[in-house]
C-alpha cells in the first residue's frame, strides 16, 4: 500500500501526552486508552481520558477520538482532587464497552460504560461485594490500583494492585472475578504475583510485581503483564488459567533498553528510566508491546510508544528493543525528521539517566520538550544538549545519503558529531555556533548504505537545542 504513513515513535503527535497505553482491537481498528498527562504538569494524570485509534492495516495513521470520560463524571470526585489513573476496557456480555479506573485519591475501582469503543462513556458504578461493600472498603482489602480486565462469557477477571519495594502491608497483584453485571464480585480477590517484599526465594525475585497490571490472552495462554520492582521494565508471566498459577517468563520492554545486550552492555541505560505501563496486543498477524517514555525532564509528561514483538523458540517473546520506527520497518533514508522521535537520550554518566522520584531532572540532562503550553500543537525537539550528551535514532534504510543537515539554536559552540553506533567512530561533523533562532547547518557526510542507526553527540561548550535533521540523497 503506497499510501501507508511511516510508523514512528511516539506514534501520537508530539504534543500529546498519553501514558499507560492499553491497546485493544475492536473491529478493524486498534484503540488505545490511557491516562492523560499534561505538558509541564505538576503530578501524574492531570487531564481527562482521551482515546486514539488507527486502522489495523495502517498503524501510522492515528485518529483523535476526543475526550471519552471526564474526571468530574465520577460522583465521588466532585472536588476534583482525584486524577484519572490508568484505565482498562473490556466488552461485557451485553456487547457494551466497560471502562475500569481508579481515582488517584481513592483505592476503589470505578466503572463507566458506552455503546461504542470511543464514544462518550457514562459513569456506571463501583465494583462491590454481594453485600454492597465496595472492593477496597473491607478491613481485609488492600487498596485497589491500576485495574486490568478480561471478559470471558459471563465472567470478568479484574486484576489490580500496587506494591512498593519493601512494603510488607501489600502482598502483590490481585485477581477478582466479577459477574455479568460487570460490578458484583463472584469470587473474592486472590494474589497471583508477589510484590518485592514477598518475592524472595521465588521465581519473581528481582522482577517482582510493582504496579501496572494488564492481562491478555494468546491462544489458550493468559499473559499477565506488569511493571516490575525495577520500574522501567514491563515483565510478564503466563498461565493456562486466568487465575494462575502464573510462571515468570521475562521482560517485554524497558523504557531505558536495559537488559538488551546486542548493541551495548546490558546494564547501560540508553534513555531515561522511570515508571512504565502498557500492554501487548495482536494486530493482524503480529504482536506488539505498548509502553511509555518520559519527556520534558520530568515524570509527569509521558508519551506512549510501541514496538513489534518477536517470538522466542519456546513460543514466548524476546525483550523488544526501543526504536524510532516501532520495530516495524526502517524509516526512509531521506528527508527531514524531527528530533522528538529520538529513542535514545544518554549521558557520559549512566547514573544520570534515571529520573529521580522527586519528579524533575536538573540542568545536566538533555530532554525532549516543546514550545508553548499544554495543547499547543508545536513539534517537540531536544533541549539542553550539553557536551558529551548523545541522542540516537533507529532505524533508517539508507541508500546514497551524501549530505546531512541539522537545525539547532542556543548558546553553544563546537561541533555535532555523527555516528552510526553510540560508541562507533565519528563519520562526520557539523559546526555549531551561537544562534538565538533556529539555524540550519549542512555538511558533506556520507551515511553507509543499508539499515543504519544515527547518533548525534555535541562536543563543545554551552547548551544546544536540536530541532531536526535532514538526510540528503
Peptide bond into 10 cis (omega under 30): yes
Angle at alpha carbon of residue 235, lines to 245 and 164, rounded to 5°: 90
The C-alpha atoms of residue 105 and residue 84 are separated, in whole angstroms, by: 9
Question: Is 20 known to be catalytic?
Answer: yes
> Which triple of cell numbers denotes residue 18?
498519553
CB-based contacts of 367, cutoff 8 Å, min separation 6: 295, 296, 297, 345, 361, 382, 383, 384
* DSSP states of 284-347: TTEEEEEEEEE-TTBSSSEEEEEEE--B-TTSSBPPPPP-SSTTTSPEESSEEEEGGG-SEEE-
The C-alpha atoms of residue 245 and residue 203 are separated, in whole angstroms, by: 12
CA distances from 330 to 123, 138, 327, 448, 467 (A): 43, 52, 8, 15, 21
> Which triple of cell numbers denotes residue 392?
540516537
Question: Is 211 known to be catalytic?
Answer: yes
The C-alpha atoms of residue 288 and residue 307 are separated, in whole angstroms, by: 6
What length does the chain have?
Answer: 473
Buried b (16+ CB within 10 A) or exposed e, 75-100: eebeeeebbbbbbbbbebeeeebbbb
Exactly one of 16, 142, 196, 211 is catalytic; name it.
211
CB-based contacts of 464, cutoff 8 Å, min separation 6: 384, 385, 386, 408, 409, 410, 412, 416, 432, 458
Contact predicate 296/393, CB 8 Å: no
> Which triple of cell numbers denotes residue 194?
508477589
The C-alpha atoms of residue 410 and residue 375 are separated, in whole angstroms, by: 25
Q: Classify 134 in phi/psi space as left (phi over 0), alpha (psi -120 to 50) or beta.
A: beta
> Which triple of cell numbers denotes residue 178?
466479577
> Which triple of cell numbers denotes residue 401?
545519503
Exactly one of 20, 22, 196, 257 is catalytic; name it.
20
Q: Which residues are catalytic?
A: 20, 211
Amino acid at each position: 500500500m503506497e499510501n501507508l504513513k511511516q510508523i514512528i515513535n511516539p506514534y501520537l503527535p508530539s504534543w500529546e501526552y498519553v501514558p499507560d497505553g492499553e491497546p485493544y482491537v475492536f473491529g478493524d481498528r486498534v484503540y488505545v486508552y490511557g491516562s492523560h498527562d499534561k505538558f509541564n504538569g505538576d503530578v501524574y494524570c492531570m487531564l481527562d481520558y482521551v482515546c486514539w485509534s488507527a486502522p489495523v492495516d495502517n498503524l501510522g495513521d492515528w485518529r483523535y477520538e476526543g475526550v471519552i470520560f471526564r474526571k468530574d463524571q465520577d460522583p465521588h470526585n466532585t472536588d476534583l482532587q482525584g486524577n484519572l489513573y490508568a484505565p482498562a476496557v473490556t466488552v461485557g456480555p451485553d456487547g457494551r464497552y466497560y471502562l475500569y479506573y481508579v481515582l488517584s485519591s481513592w483505592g476503589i475501582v470505578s466503572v463507566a460504560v458506552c455503546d461504542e469503543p470511543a464514544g462518550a462513556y457514562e459513569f456506571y458504578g463501583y465494583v462491590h461485594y454481594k453485600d454492597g461493600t465496595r472492593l477496597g472498603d473491607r478491613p481485609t482489602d488492600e487498596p485497589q490500583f491500576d485495574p486490568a480486565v478480561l471478559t470471558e462469557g459471563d465472567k470478568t477477571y479484574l486484576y489490580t494492585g500496587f506494591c512498593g519495594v519493601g512494603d510488607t502491608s501489600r502482598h502483590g497483584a490481585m485477581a477478582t472475578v466479577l459477574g455479568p453485571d460487570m460490578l458484583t464480585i463472584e469470587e473474592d480477590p486472590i494474589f497471583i504475583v508477589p510484590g518485592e517484599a514477598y518475592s524472595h526465594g521465588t521465581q519473581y525475585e528481582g522482577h517482582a510485581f510493582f504496579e501496572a497490571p494488564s492481562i491478555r490472552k494468546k491462544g489458550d495462554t493468559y499473559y499477565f503483564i506488569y511493571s516490575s520492582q525495577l520500574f522501567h521494565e514491563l515483565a510478564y508471566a503466563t498461565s493456562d488459567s486466568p487465575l494462575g498459577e502464573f510462571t515468570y517468563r521475562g521482560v517485554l520492554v524497558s523504557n531505558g533498553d536495559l537488559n538488551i545486550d546486542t548493541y551495548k552492555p546490558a546494564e547501560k541505560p540508553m534513555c531515561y528510566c522511570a515508571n512504565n505501563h502498557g500492554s501487548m496486543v495482536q494486530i493482524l498477524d503480529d504482536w506488539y508491546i505498548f509502553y511509555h517514555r518520559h519527556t520534558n525532564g520530568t515524570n509527569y509528561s509521558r508519551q506512549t510508544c510501541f514496538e513489534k514483538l518477536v517470538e522466542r523458540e519456546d513460543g514466548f517473546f524476546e525483550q523488544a528493543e526501543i526504536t524510532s520506527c516501532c520495530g516495524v520497518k526502517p524509516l526512509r533514508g531521506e528527508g527531514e525528521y524531527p528530533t522528538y522521535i529520538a529513542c535514545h537520550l544518554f549521558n557520559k554518566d549512566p547514573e544520570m539517566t534515571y529520573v529521580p522520584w522527586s519528579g524533575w531532572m536538573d540542568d545536566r540532562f538533555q530532554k525532549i520538550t516543546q514550545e508553548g503550553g499544554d495543547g499547543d500543537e508545536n513539534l517537540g525537539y531536544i533541549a539542553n544538549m550539553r557536551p558529551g550528551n548523545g541522542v540516537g535514532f533507529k532505524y533508517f534504510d539508507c541508500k546514497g545519503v551524501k549530505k546531512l543537515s541539522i537545525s539547532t539554536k542556543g548558546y553553544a559552540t563546537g561541533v555535532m558529531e555523527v555516528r552510526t553506533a553510540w560508541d562507533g567512530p565519528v563519520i562526520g561533523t557539523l559546526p555549531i555556533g551561537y544562534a538565538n533562532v533556529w539555524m540550519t547547518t549542512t555538511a558533506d557526510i556520507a551515511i553507509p548504505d543499508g539499515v543504519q542507526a544515527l547518533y548525534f553527540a555535541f562536543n563543545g561548550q554551552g547548551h544546544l537545542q536540536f530541532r531536526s535533521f535532514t538526510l540528503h540523497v
